[in-house]
Amino acid sequence: MLQQLLDIATEAALAGGAVLQAYAGKVNIREKGRLGDLVTEADQASESAILSVIQRHFPDHKILAEESGMQGAESEYLWAIDPLDGTTNYAHQYPFYASSVGLLIQGKPSVGVIFDPTRQELFRAATGLGATLNRQPIQVSTAAALRQSLLVTGFAYDRHSTPDNNYAEFCHFSHLTQGVRRGGAAALDLAYVACGRLDGFWERGLSPWDMAAGAVLVAEAGGRVTAYDQSEFAIDSGRILASNGLLHESISRELLRVQPLPPACLPEAAAQ
């Protein structure tokens, strides 16, 4: 059954990615209401393509999609869909974005497919079936010390106004590691941890569709996915810590040490 679900998730992610490429460079952009929270026709068209595939095969499954929200009757199967992860990148023709299709079974991330159409890279995983990139097995990195590592994070849309951001954490890890990247697409960040290009990822302010597919990829590639404090990962928490496993305790320990910047340091406060 999981193999069938993985195959349908793959069909859906590929359909969404094809739409993204068809619209690339010729979209109208608007804000959803928060500064920097963008949406384009491509988001909506890609989501329609993904939903069409899933609903055709599994009409009884529940779906949570970024643009259209929750739909469907109660079910142990919940699809978490981000039709365009990295919308700001996409809007600026910065080639780091993807379609992401995840499936939770009884609340647990169990199937994940992430498709990067600009590089034609297809990341796939399902619980117990391993993780692949373009059908070849992948695994997390072997970096065992922070000084050997390259980490990645992201900044939430409400970073302009909330002290609950990770600016201080970004600076802290920049001094402890070989570098910290900000990709702008959480699904791809997680996929890159899964295939060993990056050694760890943390972020807050995320939605289930940002994390569902990537969490399966990291776990099936041999990594760890938890809350910041190493407790069990909760898909509705908005926070995630994912790593190659070897660095997990070190990243968690350092995250818990960092004090947030005072509110006066936020841009909106500084402008007052």
Closest CA to 243 of 147, 139, 155: 139
For residues 216-232, average pLDDT: 98
Q: Is the same domain home to 150 and 101?
A: no
Chain segment 79-122, per-residue pLDDT in tens: 999 999 999 999 899 999 999 999 999 999 999 999 999 999 99
Give domain status of residue 263, yes or no.
Answer: no
Tokens representing 241 are 């810590």
Q: Is the same domain home to 124 and 189?
A: no
pLDDT confidence of residue 26:
75
Q: Is the same domain home to 80 and 110?
A: yes
**49-68 as b/e, with b when 16 or more CB fall inside 10 Å?**
bbbebbbeebeebbbbbbbe
Phi, psi (rounded to 5 degrees) for 260: -65, 155
Number of domains in the chain: 2
What percent of the chain lies above the pLDDT cut of 90?
80
β-pair type (130-133, 121-126):
antiparallel
Domain span at 235: 146-257
C-alpha to C-alpha distance for 189 and 184, rounded to whole angstroms: 8
DSSP 18-35: HHHHHHTT---EEE-SST
pLDDT confidence of residue 25:
83
Q: Which residue has the higher pLDDT, 84 or 26?
A: 84
pLDDT confidence of residue 172:
95
**Could you tell me if 16 and 115 are in contact, meaning their C-beta atoms sit under 8 angstroms apart?**
yes
Q: Is the same domain home to 127 and 150?
A: no
| Helix-, strand-, coil-residue percentages of the chain, each rounded to 5 | 35, 25, 35
Closest CA to 185 of 44, 87, 63, 67: 87
pLDDT confidence of residue 267:
58
Q: Is the same domain home to 87 and 155?
A: no
